[in-house]
Amino acid sequence: MTGTLYLCATPIGNLGDMTFRVLDTLREVDLIAAEDTRNSIKLLNHFEIKTPMTSYHEYNRVEKAQQIIGWLKEGKNVALVSDAGTPAISDPGEVLVEMCQREGVPVTSLPGCCACITALTLSGLSTRRFCFEGFLPADKKEKKFVLSELARETRTIILYEAPHHLKRTLGELYGTLGERRVTLCRELTKRFETVIATTLQEAIAFYEEVCACTGRDGQGKHGAGGKGGLGGIVPGRTYGVLCQPGDGEKGGYEDGGFGQGHQ
């Protein structure tokens, strides 16, 4: 009998958000495929889970997916976890899910934390219709194309961004989209959770002032950047930028102090 791939959502910062169903599954499966075993071992140790792990990440996503599917076809049950949040959302897990479907391997998803949705509900922007862009492309030409597409977007836009790129990205968004309301989120579900509703111009001005004061893109411990960051939609090192929709014309764990989330 073929085994099942379980997509297990894990906390995005606060360990209290772990679900009982995910805990039971992680204990019962034969193997856990983790994006970063060094990060996931902290989670497993906290909950005293002894299930063996294997790595599954961006750089081995195709070859390792084939190996995991082989184990599943042998009857083993496998849980997939990302560094934080829901696997397969802006995550190499999407490749494994697609390959499992092609091979007729059962896949089920165990709901839980999802950073982009958490940020959206806190944004104060329209939640009826939205688009999730994830990280903008690194390639300049491709990024320019994506931004031009977003300029015509009529739904709330959700982006992820790294702290050292945030100021530049805010400038690029303003240059392409024009003035918009924007909500910046960081450290969601954690002690220093921050949600700031502002505008693109005001956000740019704020970061320019922070950079002038710090000389390092505002990388303060719990200030406007760095590990804390002003807008980390996912705790730790990623920022969230949620933009007001246009008119069609033109983003360690905690249980009171446990580690730092990643995604």
Q: Count CB atoms within 10 A of the CB of residue 70.
A: 11
Tell me, what's the pLDDT at 90?
A: 87
- Check: CB of residue 2 under 8 Å from CB of residue 75: yes
> Crossing angle, helix 166-177 and helix 200-214, to 10 degrees?
150
Instruction: Please enumerate in sequence order all residues whose Cβ is within 8 A of that of 256, keeping only pairs 6 or more positions apart, or say none.
Output: none
Q: Give dist(CA 86, CA 65) in Å, integer.
A: 18
Tell me, what's the pLDDT at 12?
A: 93
Give tens-digit pLDDT for 181-231.
999 998 899 998 989 999 999 999 988 887 666 665 544 443 444 333 333
Query: Which pTM value belongs to this model?
Result: 0.83
Tell me, what's the pLDDT at 258?
A: 28
Does an H or E element contain 156, and which? strand 156-161
Residue for token digits 């939205």? 130
CA dihedral over 218, 222, 224, 230, signed as positive or negative: positive
Instruction: Please enumerate in sequence order all residues whose Cβ is within 8 A of that of 27, keeping only pairs 6 or more positions apart, or say none.
Output: 49, 50, 51
Q: Which amino acid is at 240?
A: G
Q: Specify whether the backbone of 148 is left (phi greater than 0), alpha (psi in -120 to 50) or beta.
A: alpha
Digitized pLDDT (tens) for each residue of the chain, 263 residues in all: 899 999 999 999 999 999 999 999 999 999 999 999 999 999 999 999 999 999 999 999 999 999 999 999 999 999 999 999 999 998 999 999 999 999 999 999 999 999 999 999 999 999 999 999 999 999 999 999 999 999 999 999 999 988 888 999 999 999 999 999 999 998 899 998 989 999 999 999 988 887 666 665 544 443 444 333 333 222 234 667 777 766 544 335 654 332 333 34
Tell me, what's the pLDDT at 49?
A: 98
Side-by-side strand order, sheet with 31-34: 53-55, 31-34, 78-81, 5-8, 107-110
Tell me, what's the pLDDT at 81?
A: 98
Tell me, what's the pLDDT at 223?
A: 41
Q: Give dist(CA 243, CA 70) in Å, integer.
A: 43
Burial 169-189 (b: 16+ CB within 10 A, else e): bbeebbebbeebbbbbbbbbb
